[in-house]
Amino acid sequence: MKVISHLALVSILFYIIQFYQNGAIVKAIGNTFESLTVNDNSLRYTNFLIYTYDTIHYYRNSGFCWEPGAFGSFLTLALLFNFLMNDFKLNKEAFIITLAILTTVSTTAYLGVFLLFFLRYRVLNKGSKVTIIAFAIIFALAIPNVPFLGEKIVEIYEQDIRDLKRIEQLSTYYDDVQRQIPLNRFASVIFLYEQFDWKLFLGVSNQYDEYYINEYNINISNGIMDFITKFGVVGLFVLLYRFGKVCKVYLRKMEYVFYAILILLILSFGEPILMLPICVIFIFLPTFKNQDFSALSYAYRTKYLKVANTQ
């Protein structure tokens, strides 16, 4: 949490500088860094490890990620972990991470953090049925009235359908400019379902992109469908079950665990985060906790596993 909160704070500082002269300062820093490492000669995108600037997202904070939505997903997961480990206290790290999430202007991150704070309310105050209904009403009213929620979701869906209908033309265009076709959230789901159909139940392996990349050169941007295509619906349920099992240690009630799983699904609908170690590790955590470490040296156990006073 310390690392994420520190990087979140750094991102807020650069985000403020980003508004000066259309990001000229952060872009200059990024160009200088890339000239010493790997320069992709992009006219709109620069990165220097701890911060990314993209002129398309000039009013949004991308932080250390490739775009604001991904940064918002990392931050929301970090805030969830922070709450789980600190009894849902609004400590310094929580405030910094929450502020950084607001600067991403990410629909998925906003939805995820809204549900996360609702989870916090339920855990700490239990909440009456009236309050729960009030939360639901506020959420329902926000979707059609907040531009980056309902309006943006509908706009993305309609654009995705148009893209799928002209994918042959898009393939020709993006091949000419030597880029992948950036299929959005809903288009990614439909495209992959049309390609693999019933095979999605068990998945088609981690190298599924070989099936279509030579023909269309698609870039998938839906983390749930990406994971399902690789490891199937079965694999997704295994991951969610393991994630829920870890969360239950802290949350205890299945209602709260359900909210935590829903948060993960909301975040991964937008970005392919389920394949990253921060999510995949949950498959192994419950098993790791039950391992017998008695064969390890005393020095190792006391230093790294915090097992003291053992033979």
**Nearest alpha carbon to residue 234 among 203, 279, 209:** 203
Choice between 287 and 44, residue whose per-residue pLDDT is larger: 44
Residues 97 and 164 in one domain: no
* Tokens representing residue 308 in the block: 């003291």
Q: Is residue 309 one of the residues assigned to a domain?
A: no
Whole-number pLDDT of residue 80? 94
Q: List, in sequence order, every beta strand (DSSP E) within 91-212.
A: 181-182
Percent pLDDT > 90 in the chain is 23
Residue 236 CA: distances (Å) to CA of 108, 134, 203, 249, 254: 19, 32, 10, 21, 19
Q: Is residue 172 one of the residues assigned to a domain?
A: yes
What are phi and psi for residue 52, nearest 5 degrees?
A: -120, 135
Average pLDDT over residues 185-189: 84
pLDDT at 159 over 60: yes
Helix axes 223-251, 68-85, angle to 10 degrees: 20
Q: Is residue 32 one of the residues assigned to a domain?
A: yes
Residues 97 and 191 in one domain: no
Residues 162 and 253 in one domain: yes
* Tokens representing residue 29 in the block: 């820093």
Domain count, the chain: 2
Residues 164 and 277 in one domain: yes
* Tokens representing residue 138 in the block: 């506020």
Whole-number pLDDT of residue 104? 93
Residues 284 and 168 in one domain: yes
Q: Render pLDDT for 78-98 as a digit per residue (tens, 0 to 9).
A: 999 999 888 888 899 999 999
Which of residues 82, 106, 130 is at a domain's end? 106
Q: Is 156 exposed, middle or buried (0-12, 13-18, 19+ CB in 10 A)?
A: middle
Q: Is residue 201 one of the residues assigned to a domain?
A: yes
pLDDT band at 307 (very low <50, low <70, confident <90, very high): very low
CB neighbour list of residue 208: distance below 8 Å, 6 or more residues apart: 196, 229, 230
Q: Is residue 135 one of the residues assigned to a domain?
A: no
Whole-number pLDDT of residue 177? 65
User: Element (H or E) spanning 218, and its range?
Assistant: strand 218-219
Pick from 121-125, 169-173, 181-185, 305-309 the range whose average pLDDT is largest: 121-125
Q: List, in sequence order, every beta strand (DSSP E) within 24-64.
A: 45-47, 52-54
Whole-number pLDDT of residue 298? 55
Residue 56 CA: distances (Å) to CA of 53, 232, 256, 261, 282: 9, 34, 37, 31, 34
Residues 284 and 155 in one domain: yes
Cβ atoms of 218 and 191 closer than 8 Å: yes
**Nearest alpha carbon to residue 101 among 20, 5, 26:** 5
Residues 206 and 281 in one domain: yes
What are phi and psi for residue 130, nearest 5 degrees?
A: -65, -45
Rounded distance between C-alpha atoms, residue 29 and residue 228, angstroms: 39
What are phi and psi for residue 219, nearest 5 degrees?
A: -115, 115
Whole-number pLDDT of residue 311? 38
Cβ atoms of 57 and 69 closer than 8 Å: no
Q: Is residue 293 one of the residues assigned to a domain?
A: no
Q: Which domain holds residue 101?
A: 2-106
Rounded distance between C-alpha atoms, residue 240 and residue 261, angstroms: 7
Rounded distance between C-alpha atoms, residue 144 and residue 122, angstroms: 25
Place of tokens 């190792």: 300
Residues 100 and 200 in one domain: no
Residues 183 and 274 in one domain: yes
Q: Render pLDDT for 214-269 as a digit per residue (tens, 0 to 9).
A: 566 777 788 899 899 889 999 999 999 999 988 888 888 898 999 999 999 999 98
Q: Is residue 305 one of the residues assigned to a domain?
A: no
pLDDT at 290 over 80: no
Reported pTM: 0.80
Arithmetic mean of pLDDT over the chain: 80
* Tokens representing residue 122 in the block: 């339920």
Residues 81 and 155 in one domain: no
